Amino acid sequence: MGPVQTPLAFIARRWTPSPRALRRAALSAVVMSVLIIVTGGAVRLTGSGLGCDTWPKCTEDSLIVTPEQGYRGYIEFGNRMLTYVLSAAVGWAIIAARSVKPRRRGLSRLAWTQFWIVMSNAVIGGITVWMGLNPWTVAGHFLAANSLLTVAVVTWHRAGEGDTAPKPRVPRPVRRLSWAIVLTSGLLIVLGTTVTGSGKHAGDSSDVPRMPWDWTNAAHAHAIAAWVVCALALAMWLVLRVVDAPDDTRARARDLLIVLVLQGGIGYVQYFTGVPEFLVAAHMLGSSLMWIAVLRLALSLRERPVTVPEIPAQADAELAKA
């Protein structure tokens, strides 16, 4: 009788994912990370943040939503259930990363990091409900979701690379410019939480406290940061053409500019039209897409060549028989 195996080790012995399967598994976590951010915004924008009275139960006497809680209860409970779909996507990424041969421990650690962020953010979400949608905990909940998106995007990118030392594809000043874009974009997202936290979309009733500053001032600071990011992104696009960067890297810079223009347009329209809910939701989606574009641009500035695997991936037909 051999040694006792963990379920992951058992699967890894019998399945080697193809590069495409590995990338799809990692991409599923990215997609679900964006979806959980957008649906979390829908909970807030429909005033359903306290649709379930408590956590982890939906009410003191029921684990699931009850008809008495109305449609807001169903919206909030649906968002909670979506966490399980997100967990399944992250689980698939973990299994695929663990099953690659030769074993890629760094990739597995990235996948497992997603799991721990999901679990931690579920607790933060519960604390947010217990504290009656305190804007500071709501902001923390949103930023933790973006942390998950960050790791998911990095995992997705690393799934298509090898494990050799990274090699730069552009000069050092260009790489430093990319980190400036990452940092200012992160600041832009943080400032966005101050706009929401002091604005009119409290997530439930108007009795929910707001952050202690004027909403318009927060929006102006957010807009200034957005213009800085746009200027840096435009500079990056121009610099990459000057240094004759690879085509895919230049395409990443172009994609970022497109997302920023669309996102900025939505932001200004929502500001001058009284912050309608559907535009806020679109702006939240744009925030996620912007952050993905920023990360993909930064990651494209270096490369790790893929080595030939010692153990080939199983064909789909072979996998179906396993």
Per-residue pLDDT reduced to its tens digit, 11-36:
888 899 999 999 999 999 999 999 99
- Using the predicted structure, report yes or no on whether residue 322 has a pLDDT greater than 50: no
Query: What is the helix (H) or strand (E) element at residue 197, kind and residue range?
Result: helix 172-198
CA dihedral 62, 68, 72, 73 (to 10 degrees): 10
Q: For 262-282, how does the pLDDT look when each residue is reduced to its tens digit (9 = 90+)?
A: 999 999 999 899 888 889 999
- Using the predicted structure, report yes or no on whether residue 310 has a pLDDT greater than 60: no
% of the chain beyond a pLDDT of 90 = 65
321 vs 116: which has the higher pLDDT: 116
> Average of pLDDT values for 197-217?
85
Q: For 77-88, how does the pLDDT look when each residue is reduced to its tens digit (9 = 90+)?
A: 888 999 999 999
For residue 63, what pLDDT band results from cuts at 50, 70 and 90?
A: confident
Distances 310 to 5, 102, 158, 227 between C-alpha atoms, Å: 23, 7, 19, 48
User: Nearest to residue 210, comparing CAs of 299, 99, 133?
Assistant: 133
CA dihedral 294, 297, 300, 301 (to 10 degrees): -110
Angle between helix 135-159 and 19-45 (nearest 10) = 160
What's this model's pTM, rounded to 2 decimal places? 0.90
% of the chain beyond a pLDDT of 70 = 93
- Using the predicted structure, report yes or no on whether residue 316 has a pLDDT greater than 70: no
Q: Are 234 and 257 in contact (CB under 8 A)?
A: yes
- Using the predicted structure, report yes or no on whether residue 205 has a pLDDT greater than 80: no
For residue 3, what pLDDT band results from cuts at 50, 70 and 90?
A: low
- Using the predicted structure, report yes or no on whether residue 113 has a pLDDT greater than 70: yes
> Average of pLDDT values for 234-243?
96
Q: Which two tokens stand for residue 33?
A: 């990370």
User: Nearest to residue 208, comparing CAs of 140, 284, 129?
Assistant: 129
Quote the Cα angle for 118-255-161, to 5°.
60
- Using the predicted structure, report yes or no on whether residue 154 has a pLDDT greater than 70: yes
Contacts of 176 (CB under 8 A, 6+ apart): none
Strand duo 167-168 + 302-303: pairing: antiparallel
- Using the predicted structure, report yes or no on whether residue 46 has a pLDDT greater than 70: yes
Distances 149 to 21, 180, 228 between C-alpha atoms, Å: 20, 19, 23
Distances 259 to 90, 223, 233, 253, 294 between C-alpha atoms, Å: 26, 15, 11, 10, 10
Summary mean pLDDT of the chain: 90
Predicted local distance difference test score (pLDDT) of residue 49: 83
- Using the predicted structure, report yes or no on whether residue 319 has a pLDDT greater than 50: no
Report d(CA 311, CA 318) in Å as an integer.
Answer: 14
313 vs 255: which has the higher pLDDT: 255
For residue 59, what pLDDT band results from cuts at 50, 70 and 90?
A: confident
82 vs 4: which has the higher pLDDT: 82
- Using the predicted structure, report yes or no on whether residue 257 has a pLDDT greater than 70: yes
Q: Are 165 and 235 in contact (CB under 8 A)?
A: no
User: 3-state DSSP call for residue 280?
Assistant: helix
Predicted local distance difference test score (pLDDT) of residue 1: 47
User: 3-state DSSP call for residue 267?
Assistant: helix
- Cis-peptide, bond into residue 102, ω within 30° of zero: yes
Predicted local distance difference test score (pLDDT) of residue 48: 84
157 vs 205: which has the higher pLDDT: 157
